[in-house]
Amino acid sequence: MKKLFKLFALASLALIVAVACNDKPVTPEVKTLTAPTLSVTPTSAVIDSDSDDTALTFNWNDVASEGLTPVYNFQVTRQGDNDFAAGTAYECTGTSKAFSHAEIAALAGEIGASLDEGFTLMARLRVTAKDNKDVEAVFSNTVTAAVGKAQYPIENLYPIGEATPYGWSLDNTVAMERSGNIFTWEGHLYANAEFKFLLQKDWWPGLVNASGDDPFTFNPVIRLEDGADYKFKVGTEGQYLITIDATNTNDIKMTAELLEEQTQELVIQELIIIGNATKTGWSLDAAEAFTKDGDIYTWEGYLSDSGEFRFPCQRDWWPGLMIPADGGTSGTLVRGNSDGDKVVYNVDEPGNYRIRINAKDLSYTIEFLGAVEPSEYATLFMCGDATPYGWSTAMTEASQLKPENVDKYIWGGNLTASGTFKFLTKADCTVLQPRCKRGRLLDYDLPREL
């Protein structure tokens, strides 16, 4: 009986072991989230606190999966706060978060950053699973964006340069059309001539090309002063639509769309002669004008045989007319829009000449009137801090001494007692020292020899 009981017990135990071996335990499925990839555009921004335009946009990929709905918690702080303790957070339902300029300005105060000094913004995403607390949270990569206050907000843009109809004239240039931070201008541009943009009717600050390597590739940047004053160019003359997006002044976009290929009719506002072959040198203000009679322009004066000259169509460097380098006493003038188009013609001998130009067909004649021995000091100009003109060598009509005869020149004006002054001859810096008292009309006989 005892043996029978033992056999029954052993059989029961074997059965239990067999059942246990055949019944494998079920392991519950563990769900996990994938960390998203975060990006920011642009990576730097100059902030205009009063603007509602978008300054920064953060984007990421959707990491939803079967059975998991992600909840995106967008976290932002200043650089250096690596645990984001001093930052702020936004719960987002989509896959992007944008901030306007005004929102960035307000955010700077919230996270203890200085917009005036500029700072680096840090952002990341914390992702959790909706209605599932058992799923572990994951974090995206951290991105940064440099932000600062707009020191030179763009209110206006003025096209200027020999490629434009305005030349380099501050008075003639007109402002581009503005819609928000988008500036547009439609007008004629000359091929292979230079242009840039001014932020006001002054030479600086200006909008120029970032590099001088390729003027036909537009990469505009703000420059506060002369230095890297690289210009823009177009390869085809015609009517253009220029569009400039200045939403982010650290990343300004520019396009120049050719609307119609055409050659602009030359408009002569005032034909003048300029160059180091003339008595007035390269002074636009002192340059002598042609006499106009219908379409015929006539000039008489002295030309040296050791310098060049050309004929601007206004009191600006370009556009202008030139005698071809291989030209003679008659022919057809060539047109130039920039220094790159410049050709040089020299007269055979110094003396007085008469030049006639037909503005209709651009024909010309140049007539030698005779050799002369001009006064060594054919033109004299005042400059100095005692004069109203300062030390400028612009040599304007106001600063020019008027010849009374071949040896006597007259100038009248105010001179300050604490300043000094000198005289310039032609376009160089030859100096004549006066023998006269300050504060009186100058009446000075020029020496025959210095």
Q: Classify domain 272-370 by CATH number.
A: 2.60.40.3620
What pLDDT does residue 62 have?
Answer: 92
Q: How confident is the model at residue 207 (pLDDT cuts 50, 70, 90)?
A: very high
Report pLDDT digits (tens) over 2-59.
554 555 555 555 555 555 555 555 555 667 888 999 999 988 787 877 788 898 999 9
Report pLDDT digits (tens) over 302-319.
998 888 999 998 888 888
Mean pLDDT of 66-92: 90
Percent of the chain's residues with pLDDT above 70: 81
pTM greater than the 0.85 cutoff: no
Mean pLDDT of 149-162: 85
What pLDDT does residue 303 have?
Answer: 92
Q: Of 77-81, 165-169, 257-261, which gets the smallest average pLDDT?
A: 165-169
In the three-class reduction of DSSP (H, G, I as helix; E, B as strand; rest coil), residue 15 is classed as: helix
Degrees to nearest 5, angle at CA 360 with 359 and 365: 55
Report pLDDT digits (tens) over 222-276.
887 776 789 999 999 899 999 999 988 878 999 999 999 987 777 787 899 999 8
Q: Do domains 38-149 and 158-261 have the same CATH topology?
A: yes
Report pLDDT digits (tens) over 337-379.
777 778 889 898 999 999 999 988 899 999 999 886 545 555 6
Q: Classify domain 158-261 by CATH number.
A: 2.60.40.3620
Q: How confident is the model at residue 335 (pLDDT cuts 50, 70, 90)?
A: confident
Mean predicted lDDT score pLDDT of the chain: 82
Cis peptide before 319 (omega within 30 of 0): yes
What pLDDT does residue 444 have?
Answer: 37
Q: Any idea which fold 38-149 has? A: Immunoglobulin-like (2.60.40)
CB 162 within 8 A of CB 190: yes
Report pLDDT digits (tens) over 286-302.
899 999 999 899 999 99
Q: How confident is the model at residue 121 (pLDDT cuts 50, 70, 90)?
A: very high
What ranges do the domains of the chain cover? Answer: 38-149, 158-261, 272-370, 375-450
